[in-house]
Amino acid sequence: MNHSTDIWNFGATYYVRDFVKGGTFPTDLRIFIKPSKSKNIYAKWMPLASEDPRAKQGRIKGSGKTKRTPIEASMQTDDPMEAAKRAIKWFQKKSKDYSLSVVVGHDYSLSRYWEIWSVREFEKPRRNKQAVIKFRRDTQLKWDANEWGVASQDWAKKSVDEINHSDFADYFSLLEARAKKNNGSNGSGMKEQQKAFIRALMKEARIDFPNLQIPDFPSISRQTKQVTHLNHEQWDLLIRTVKEQCDFVVNKEMNYKGYQSLPCSYKRENQRNWVDLYDALLLEYFFFLRSEDMNRLKSEWFQDNGKGEYQCLLEETKKDRDIHVTQSYRPEADGYMRRMKERRPKKGYLIFPLMLRPDQGGAENKVRNLLNHLLKKAVEKCLPDFDLGKKPWTTIRHTTIRLMLEDDPSLWVGYKLRDFAANCHTSPDQIQTTYIQPIQAGQTARETRENLRLKGWESGSRVRV
């Protein structure tokens, strides 16, 4: 490594172990330069939560369980090598002052590497504040959730080089039993998630165990089942019902002031909210959005490309996925979009535009919860026997993708399948397995029945029914 501070990035951190070999100090002891006029190098180190003597283990006030701050101090020098040596002495003095009960270097459990890995991952920049909050919350749950979190497992307290395949097999059995109890699945999604998480922590352990071999995990079998969706007749009935609930004002020309003046009582089922549900359903129908997108859709993301064709640039995506233009595939989208944009603000949120978002002090899932509530009420009115399941808006997403594939079978193969999957922010394999195969299976059954009927099988059947 070039030890000159001239090539350092302000704010970046460098491990002391890269400068000093040997000695008693933690693997995550680091040195860095703060973005200030001073060229002095600082050192920082994060004690294990179980050893941290600070109030709330050094957590930032108001941040809940997720964010701990390292202990840091200036090394009073701008020379990296000297700063690294001073950092070790500083650490040893701090350890003595804090009277840490565990001798540094003797605890090589996953807790050690969680502390190192989580600090680094939580510091990474993300596209928006809400993504940061969600990532920290979800990641923290992977580690310390009651019963199923990694920290709750006995094997997580062993030295990482003693963890074996049997430990993972027992853990997967726990995850599967939990999934069967909660939703009747085999927990394949949770297994994949936790497998990736554990592997990340164990790779971190290679700073102490360079030749560490991560044990094999049990194989994960995915359960494939046909997703719940509305058929064409049910979809048309739902849209007509929502129009009825808002007195068909969505069929009329209306500007934003007209939308704002619509009756909006304290009850959630009011005319203005029904208009929002209608627009959310149609945006889903034309642009195949995810339920989490509805909260953040903005008017300026939907633009005419100059040919009367509307496109959506999703500027905030699930888990910081790549941003790309989402096309509307149905020709009737353009006329709808023109009318819809008239009754919406020129800039700002599209769905429930007057509702505060999380970064404005509003509740995190208020938009999604209100949409789901109204959707359930509408379905109860027109399709009382239809089960929307535990994720009502996801059922609508499945419906819009399924109906598009039924209407245009040319999307089933080749580059069209690839492009359509990307447009839906999913994969060709997912489209094939979740939608196309069930459609083909239904077609095969219908065609077989018709062929047998044409052959007179019904009248000459050997089995009388």
DSSP string, 349-364: BSSSTTSPPGGGT--T
How many residues are listed for the chain in this entry?
465
The closest of 226, 198, 229 to 212, measured between CA atoms, is: 198
Strands (DSSP E) contained in 57-186 are: 71-74
204 contacts 240 by C-beta, under 8 angstroms: no
Phi, psi of 32 (to 5 degrees): -160, 165
449 contacts 457 by C-beta, under 8 angstroms: no
Q: What is the dihedral of CA 155, 156, 157, 163, to 10 degrees?
A: 50
Q: How many CB atoms lie within 10 A of CB 236?
A: 12
User: Hey, what amino acid is at 374?
Assistant: L
458 contacts 425 by C-beta, under 8 angstroms: no
31 contacts 42 by C-beta, under 8 angstroms: yes
What is the value of pTM for the model shown? 0.66
Q: What is the DSSP letter of 298?
A: B
CA distance 27 to 15: 8
Bridge partners, residue 32, by sequence: 13, 42
End-to-end CA distance of the chain: 82
The closest of 315, 337, 336, 333 to 324, measured between CA atoms, is: 315
Coil, helix or strand at residue 327: strand
295 contacts 367 by C-beta, under 8 angstroms: yes
Coil, helix or strand at residue 59: strand
Q: What's the count of helices (H) and strands (E) in the chain, helices before strands? A: 15, 7
Ranges under pLDDT 70 in the chain: 1-12, 22-23, 37, 50, 61-67, 99-107, 126-130, 223-225, 315-323, 458-465
284 contacts 400 by C-beta, under 8 angstroms: yes
Bridge partners, residue 326, by sequence: 312
Indicate left, alpha or beta for 99 from its phi (over 0: left) and psi (-120 to 50: alpha). left
CA distance 127 to 131: 7
Q: How many CB atoms lie within 10 A of CB 135?
A: 17
CA distance 404 to 285: 9
Give the model's pLDDT for residue 272. Answer: 96
Coil, helix or strand at residue 47: coil
Phi, psi of 395 (to 5 degrees): -60, -40
43 contacts 90 by C-beta, under 8 angstroms: yes
